[in-house]
Amino acid sequence: MTEESTPLYEVLYCSTLAQDLPPTTVGTIASQARVRNAELGITGLLVFDGMRFCQHLEGPHDAVDQLMQRIAQDPRHVGVRVAYEAPLASRRYTGFGMGLAECEGPDLMAGVHALDGKVALGHFLALLPSFDING
């Protein structure tokens, strides 16, 4: 099945970095994710504020679902919560495979963590222009 004929799916989830792990762990997570996600046809953006993660993933439904199962089992993530998931008409992230952005201060991600559904997705997407994304 080609990329054009495979329906896309998107998931926005939030989690917290496990205690006793240094924030530098996030770079390792992103590096590993870039390779694995490229093989699975998954693109997206991981945002980290020093304590909280918000990640927006997009790709084939089965691949995104399997990735979410792995993330939920990853001991580096605590309190994994899916804030939004739905079919997606076309990719939002085409300039890079898996981007990483670190934002200053906890307020931006705390706002996303407190929301659900389309409101959470809309809030996250509205923040995109403020992020310095490394892809």
Q: What is the pLDDT of residue 82?
A: 96
Q: What is the pLDDT of residue 117?
A: 92
Q: Is the pLDDT of residue 128 over 70?
A: yes
Task: Report the C-alpha gap between 10 and 4 in whole angstroms.
Answer: 16
pLDDT, mean of residues 29-37:
85
| Number of folded domains that form the chain | 1
- Residue 100 or residue 90, greater confidence: 90
pLDDT digits (tens, 9 = 90+) for 40-62: 999 999 998 888 889 999 999 99
Please check whether residue 3 lies inside any domain of the structure.
no
In this structure, what are the phi and psi dihedrals at residue 49, rounded to the nearest 5 degrees? -110, 15
Burial grade of 95 (CB within 10 A; 0-12, 13-18, 19 or more)? exposed
Q: What is the pLDDT of residue 1?
A: 43
End-to-end Cα, the chain, rounded Å: 26
In this structure, what are the phi and psi dihedrals at residue 119, rounded to the nearest 5 degrees? -65, -45
- 19: domain range? 8-130
Please check whether residue 91 lies inside any domain of the structure.
yes
Please check whether residue 1 lies inside any domain of the structure.
no
| CATH number, domain with residue 106 | 3.30.70.100
- Residue 96 or residue 105, greater confidence: 96
Taking the CA atoms of residue 17, residue 18, residue 23 and residue 29 in that order, the dihedral angle to the nearest 10 degrees is -70
Task: Report the C-alpha gap between 44 and 65 in whole angstroms.
Answer: 14
Q: What is the pLDDT of residue 87?
A: 97
Sign of the Cα torsion 76, 91, 4, 87 reads: positive
Please check whether residue 111 lies inside any domain of the structure.
yes
